[in-house]
C-alpha cells in the first residue's frame, strides 16, 4: 500500500527507531509512547487490521512480540507490560496496518485499565450463545 505510513517505514522511506527486524516482521519505538520503551510490532505484509491478517503473519507477529517484550522488560526495568491492538476506527485504530503495541508498565505509572461493567447472568448467556454461533 503506497499510502500506508507503516509500509513506507518498512520500505525505508520514513525513518524509525528500529529495535528488531526479521524477514517477516518489524518492531520499532512508538513516536507517541505511553511509557518509555513503548514499541509497535507489525508484519511486513500489509493488512488493514487483525481480521484481515493471514494466520501465518499473525504467528510471526506474536513470536516477534514475545521476543521484543522480553527485551523491553530488560531494557526499561519494567515490572510488567500490556500487549494491545486497536481494530477499526471505533476501537481507536489510526493506522490501517495491523500492529501490536507493547507498553511497558511500572508500578507507579498511574495508567488505568478501562472501566469494567457487570452483566446479568441471562445477558451473559445470550451474548455467549451469539458469539459461539458466529465463531468460524
Please give the positions annotated as active site.
Answer: 99
3-state secondary structure of 97: coil
* Rg, C-alpha atoms of the chain: 17
Query: Sheet harboring 80-84: ordered strands across?
Result: 18-21, 25-29, 39-43, 99-105, 80-84
Cross-strand bridge partners of residue 42: 26, 99
- Between CA 23 and CA 125 the distance in angstroms is 44
Amino acid at each position: 500500500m503506497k499510502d500506508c505510513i507503516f509500509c513506507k517505514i518498512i520500505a525505508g522511506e520514513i525513518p524509525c527507531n528500529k529495535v528488531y527486524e526479521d524477514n517477516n516482521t518489524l518492531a520499532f519505538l512508538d513516536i507517541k509512547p505511553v511509557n518509555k520503551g513503548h514499541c509497535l510490532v507489525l508484519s511486513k505484509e500489509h493488512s488493514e487490521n487483525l481480521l484481515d491478517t493471514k494466520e501465518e503473519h499473525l504467528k510471526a507477529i506474536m513470536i516477534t512480540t514475545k521476543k521484543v517484550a522480553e527485551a523491553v522488560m530488560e531494557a526499561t526495568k519494567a515490572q510488567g507490560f500490556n500487549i494491545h491492538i486497536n481494530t477499526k476506527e471505533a476501537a481507536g485504530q489510526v493506522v490501517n496496518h495491523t500492529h501490536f503495541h507493547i507498553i511497558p508498565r511500572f508500578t507507579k505509572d498511574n495508567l488505568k485499565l478501562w472501566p469494567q461493567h457487570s452483566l446479568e447472568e441471562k445477558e451473559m448467556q445470550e451474548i455467549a450463545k451469539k458469539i459461539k454461533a458466529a465463531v468460524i
